[in-house]
Structure formats: structure tokens, C-alpha cells
């Protein structure tokens, strides 16, 4: 399975972030899955890619040309796809993904996972969409989604497939359960 992970090019100031992202990468690599990510060697992105590679896994990076030219690309990844724009990068990462995880990150991470959430809610994309709610990072977003439903602007049915996980064990459980459920459904990935 190709697991697309969105996360920051910064490490942040909470040591739990680096530990958790390395744990996620190790699991992706050891489980025989492939990481799809933004292609950078910087910050948490670099930690994730390195941990997948160290665990014997494969890594596909999708990087816009201007980031490659600026020297941000992780040279040791398995495969690099170069796009012309950030929009093309985002589209390609969605096309490649069988499952999507938003690790705690900045506005870019939020923008990328919001598109996936929208596609999942419209049933255009039938794939697990997981917000890694490490230390309550995405609690505010969970409340916003609930508020949308309370106001009749969304529904529980629309939000099926958008999941929150507190740790790696919950992520693994969601991926296993949703892939079992999705394997019997028709629809565009």
C-alpha cells in the first residue's frame, strides 16, 4: 500500500513529534508499505523518510522543481517525482496514495489534508484519511467537524472515512479495518 503522509519541513519544538514520526516511518518500512511524501530532507519530512529507508522500506518523494533546485530534496529516497508546481505536487501525491495520514504540521499540511478530507467526504476518494492527533494536536479540527454537523453543514455520513488516531496502534487498526471495508466497495480511489 502507498501511504501518503503530510507533515512539516520543520521539526517543531516538541521532542514527541520526532519520536512519533520515526516510529511511524519504521512501521511503514517494516510492514512492506511504501511512503509517499513531499520529498524533502528537512525537518520531520527528513526524519520520516530516513526512518522508512532504515527499516528497509521504499520512499517516493514528490517535489516541485523549485524545491529541488533549492537543494531541499532527500537524495537517498527510492523514487523522486518532480512537478512544476505545488498544485501538481498535491495532485500527484493524491493519485499515488492508497491511504492518507496528516501528521502534526503547519498550514501546508492542513491545506493538503483538507483536500483529501473533502474528496473523502464526497466519496470521490475511497481511502483512509487519518489525522494523527498526537497529544491532541487536531482536537480543534475535530471540534470544527462536529460543529459543521451540528449546524447541518455536514453530516456523519459525509465524514465517514475521516478518522482521528492518537497513536501508531490506532493508525494501524484504522488502516487494516478501512482497507478491509473498502476492498469490497466500488469507487474511484
- What are the boundaries of each domain within the chain? 2-179
- Residue 181: strand, helix, or coil: helix
Q: What is the mean pLDDT of residues 52-65?
A: 97
Strand partners, 5: 101
- The CB-based long-range contact list for 26-30 (8 Å cut-off, 24+ gap) reads 26/51, 26/52, 26/54, 26/55, 27/55, 27/168, 27/172, 28/3, 28/52, 28/55, 28/57, 29/53, 29/54, 29/55, 29/56, 29/57, 30/55, 30/56, 30/57
Tracing cell 522500506 back to the chain, one arrives at: 57
What topology does CATH give the domain 2-179?
A: Rossmann fold (3.40.50)
Residue 119 has phi, psi (to 5 degrees) of -65, -40
Over the stretch 118-132, which tens digit does the pLDDT of each residue have?
999 999 999 999 999
Predicted pLDDT at 177: 86
Sorting pLDDT into bands at 50, 70 and 90, what band is 188?
A: very low
In the DSSP assignment, the letter for residue 60 is E
Predicted pLDDT at 184: 45
Amino acid at each position: 500500500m502507498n501511504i501518503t503522509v503530510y507533515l512539516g519541513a520543520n521539526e517543531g519544538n516538541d521532542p514527541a513529534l520526532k519520536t512519533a514520526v520515526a516510529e511511524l516511518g519504521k512501521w511503514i518500512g517494516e510492514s512492506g508499505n511504501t511512503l509517499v511524501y513531499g520529498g524533502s530532507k528537512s525537518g520531520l519530512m527528513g526524519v520520516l523518510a530516513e526512518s522508512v529507508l532504515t527499516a528497509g522500506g521504499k520512499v517516493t518523494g514528490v517535489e516541485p522543481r523549485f524545491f529541488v533546485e533549492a537543494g531541499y530534496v532527500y537524495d537517498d529516497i527510492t523514487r523522486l517525482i518532480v512537478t512544476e508546481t505545488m498544485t501538481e505536487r498535491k495532485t500527484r501525491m493524491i493519485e499515488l496514495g492508497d491511504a492518507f495520514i496528516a501528521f502534526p504540521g503547519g498550514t501546508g499540511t492542513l491545506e493538503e489534508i483538507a483536500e483529501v478530507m473533502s474528496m473523502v467526504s464526497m466519496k470521490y476518494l475511497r481511502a483512509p484519511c487519518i489525522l494523527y492527533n498526537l497529544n491532541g494536536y487536531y482536537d480543534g479540527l475535530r471540534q470544527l467537524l462536529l460543529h459543521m454537523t451540528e449546524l447541518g453543514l455536514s453530516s456523519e455520513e459525509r465524514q465517514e472515512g475521516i478518522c482521528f488516531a492518537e497513536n501508531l496502534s490506532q493508525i494501524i487498526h484504522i488502516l487494516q479495518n478501512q482497507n478491509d471495508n473498502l476492498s469490497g466497495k466500488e469507487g474511484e480511489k
